[in-house]
Chain A
Amino acid sequence: MKPLDPRLVRRSRTVRSYLALGVVLGLLTALVVVTQAFLIADAVARLFDGRPALAAAVAVGLCLGARAGLEWWHSTVSARAAVTLKSELRKEVLDDLVDPRRLGPVPRSSRIITLLGPGFDAFDGYVGRFLPQTILASIVPGIVVLAVLVVDPLSALIIGLSLPLSIVFMVLVGLVTRDKLDRRWSALQRLGQHFANVLDGLVVLKVFGRDQTAGLRAVGERHRKETIRSLRVVFLSSLVLELVATLSVALVAVSVGLRVVDDRMSLQHALTVLLLAPEAYLPIRRLGAMFHDSTAGAEAVSEALELLDHDRHTGHLPAPGLDRADLTFEQVTVEFPGRSQPALQVDAETIRPGEFVAITGASGAGKSTLLDVLMAFVPPTAGRVTVGGLDLADIDPEQWRHLIAWVPQVPGIVDGTVEDNVRMANTAATSAEVVRALRDAGASDLSPGRWISESAHTISAGERRRISIARALLRVRTAGANLVLLDEPTAGLDAAREGTVLNSLRALPVTVVVVAHRAETIAAADRAIRLVARELVPS
C-alpha cells in the first residue's frame, strides 16, 4: 500500500497545501529535537561540574514547550485537513450521484452510505494521524543523524547503518509475512461478516430453533488460534525494528561512555549523542504502531476515487418527442464488468408511439436493465438505441428524461409529505392534480399531508410504489411526459388496486413500457417483448 494515493494529491488542493505545511512543521520539529538534546546535555554537564544550571534548565523547558507547541500545531492542522478532505470528498461523491450525466449502474446504496459515513470518518486516523507521522518519519531521522555526525561521527555511523538496516529488515519481514497478514485480515473480515450474517438471520434461526452460541464460539476460537499463529510471525517485523533501534542505542551509549572514561569525548557531547540516538528511530517506530490507523482511510480514498471514475454522457442534441418518433433497439447488448453473461441482449425491436408494451422474461433476463438503457442511465456496450433516428447517446440526457415518467422497482422517497413526494414529478402541479394522481394510482387511502421519509421508515413497499405511480401519472398529465417506464408496478398490490392502476395506465395517451411478471399486467398490454434469460453462473 502506498501511504498516499497520488491521484488524491493531484486532485485535492487541500492535500497539497497541507503536505507543504506538514513538511515545514516536520523540519521545525527536527530542529527543536536536536536543540533539545544539546540543551539537556548542557544542563546536565553544568550540574555535574557544579556550575549554575538554572538558565540552561529553563532553556530546556522552553525547548520542550516549543516542541509541545509544534506537535500541537501539527496535529491541529492535520485534524483540520482531515475534516476538510472528508467534507470535500463527501460533497464530490454526492454531487456525482445526482449528476445527470453520470453513466453506469448505480453502486449499491449501502456501500455508498457506509463510505459517506464511517468510511470517510476513517480520515481522522489516516490524514489526522498517519500522514503527519509519515512526514515526520521521512524528515526527522535524517536531520538527527546529521546532528550526531557533527558531534560524533562514530555514533553517526552506528545509527546511519542500523537505521536503513532496520527498515530493510522490517520491509523484508513485512514482505514475507504480508500474505499471512492479508489472509488474517480477510479472515477477520469474514469473521465479522459471519457474525453479521448470523445476526441478520437471527429470526430465521430462532424460528428453526438453531442456537448459534456453540457455533460462534467454535468459529471464534478457531480464528483466534490461527490468528495468534500468524501474529507470531507478523509481529516479527516490529520486533526487528525495535531490536535494532534499542540495541543501537545501547551500543552508542556504551561506546560513548567508554570514550568519556578515556577523556576522548566530553560529557556534554556524549549525553547529546545519547539523547539524539533514540530520536532517530522514534518517528519510524510510531509510524509502525499507527499503521492500522491508516488502512481504513486509505481504503476509503481508493473506493471514493473508484466511485468517481466512470463514463459521462456526452449527448447535446434536443430530444425528439415520442408522440411521433419510434423507439428502436439495434443489436443492443449491455455487459457489466465481472459478469460473463451479458446483462441484456435485444437484437431488433421497435416501440411505436402510443404503444403499451410489456417486457417479460425470467429473472435476470435484463428487464430492469432495459429500462435503465431507456432512461440513459446505462449505455449499451454494443449496438444502439435510437429515438426518431437519433442515437440516444447523442441526445441531452436531462431533456430526454424530461419526457419520461419513471417508476422503478424500489422508488426513492424524499423527506416530506406524500404530496411533496408526488410533486417531485412536477413541482408546479396543483393539489387537486396531486390528489387525482394519487386516486388513479390506487392510493386514495394515502393522505397527501402524511409525512414520510426514508429514515423514519413509515412507508411500506406497496405505498412507495403507488406514490411512484402517482408521480408518473402526474408527469404525463401535467408536465408533458410522453413515455412511461414502469418496473413491476403492481407487485404487492391487491387485485382491486392493481385494476385501478392498470386502467389509469391504459388511459394514458402515451407510450408505456412496463416490466411485468403478473398475468394481469401482461394481459393489459398491447403486446409483450420477451427477453431471454442469461444463465446463472455460480462463481
Chain B
Amino acid sequence: MASVQISGLRKLYGDVVALSDINISIESGAFFTLLGPSGCGKTTLLRTIAGFHFQNAGTISINGASIEKAAAHKRDVGMVFQDYAVFPHLSVADNVAFGLKQRKLTREEIGSRVAKALRIVQLELFAERMPHELSGGQQQRVGLARAIVINPAVLLMDEPLSNLDAKLRVDLRAELRNIQKNMGTTTVYVTHDQEEALAMSDVVCVMFDGVIQQAASPVEIYKRPANRFVADFVGGNNFLQTSSNKGDVSLAAGGAAVGSVDADRAVLAAVRPEDVAVHVENAPVGPNRIEVPVTIDQISFIGREMEVHGRTSTGELLKAASRPDEIVLGQGEGSAAVFTFDKDNVSLFEDHETGQRLS
C-alpha cells in the first residue's frame, strides 16, 4: 500500500511540451486512471513514473520518498504493457519469476510466490507453457502475474486490454479490478476507452495536450465535467451556441433561458444526447423543459437505442439518443420534430476547446 505524489512534473520533447505542470495525488490503494485521446501525454506520464523517461522538472514520490531521480530498474513499480511484453524465450513460470530472481530471493520463496501469482491470474495449469502457446488474453495474464508477483508499491498499466477483442476486454476488465481490490495495490491505469475508465476507476484523470483537465470520481466526471473538453470526451455532448442578455443565457436556436452567467460573454450550452427527448407530435411542456424545433437529418437504429440527428433553425446539429420509438423511426429525413430537454441537464461552458464550466 502506497500513496503517490506528483508535483510540478514537466516533460519536453525538443520544443514540444508533452507534460505541463502535472500535479497529482493518489491515495493508497486507489485505482487511478489516466484517460485521454492519443497524444494527450497519458502514456508519457505513466512511463515517466516507471522511469523510462526522465522529467525536465518536478518530483514524483511514493509514500513521501522521492523517486524521480532513481534509475528505472531501481523503482519499486510493476508495469503491465499494452503489447504484453512477455519474454518470448522464457516459460510462463520463468517470466513470472524474472523479477524475483533480480531480487535474489531463495528458490523456495520464488517457487511459492510464482505459484501463488499464477493462481491469482488463473494460469496455474500453464506454468510450463511457452508464450507463443498462449492466447493474447493469457499472455496479458502472464504480464499481470509478472508485475504483481514482486509486490510493487505501485502497479502501472499501459492500456493493457486494448489489444484484446471486445468480449474478452470486458471480462478481463472486471477480473483485473477484482484482483486489484483484493491486493489493495495502488494502481495507475492508462486508457483511451472512457467506458473502461468509468467502469474500473476510483479516480479518473482526464488529460489533454499534456495538461490535466479534471481528476475526480467517475460519477463526478460524467455529471459535472470541469470543462468543455471533458464534457465532450467523456460521454459526448451536444454543444449549442447561445446568446446572453443581462446574464440570462438562451439558445441561439430559440427557447427559454437555459441558465445564467455573471457577465455577458461567449457561452456554449451542453446537453447529453441521452437527456434529449424526441417529439414528433405534441411536445409535453413542463416548467423546466427547453424546446428546440428541428428538422430531422438522420435516424439510426442501433439496437438498444436509436440515434436521431436534428438540425436546428440556426443550422446546428443536435443529437438525441433514446429508446427506439416506432413513430420516430417511421419518420423520414427532412420531417419536422421538437427536441426537448430539462434545464437542469444543461451545462454552460466558456466557448473554447478547454473552456471552463460556468454553471
Bound pair (A, B): no
Chain A contact residues, CB within 8 Å of chain B: none
